[in-house]
Amino acid sequence: MASNAAHRAYPSFTLYGAAKAAVIHFAKGFSNDLLGRKIRANVISPGTTNTPVFDRFVPAEQLEAVKKYWADVMPIGRIGQPSDIGKTAVFLASDDSSFMLGAELLVDGGLSYLSK
């Protein structure tokens, strides 16, 4: 798992973004290194997703406002759901993605590449 933060310079997320960019590079390198063993490595880079992490970093009285802010920022008009990421993981684990290796799938509601 990486993050769209590997592609966008969010304030105060420099180290996080750099670490996630490294994860993307690891997938490329591991795919090359493990090619002979027929092991593929791919990466999912989610955007803001509605998980319990919000409860850890956002005060309860601000929670809905923060979620609304992110939904408004997203080109798709909503934040992601865990099932959005899970379905992508199932795809990557299936034979349907057998021709993919070292790839990154941005599952971020269009935030990395589209403007709203």
Residues assigned a catalytic role: 16
∠ Cα 73 78 83 (to 5°): 135
Nearest C-alpha neighbor of 30 from the set 39, 17, 22: 39
Please report how many Cα atoms fall inside a 13 Å half-sphere around the Cα of residue 71, on the Cβ side.
10
Are residues 41 and 31 in contact, defined by beta-carbon separation less than 8 angstroms? yes
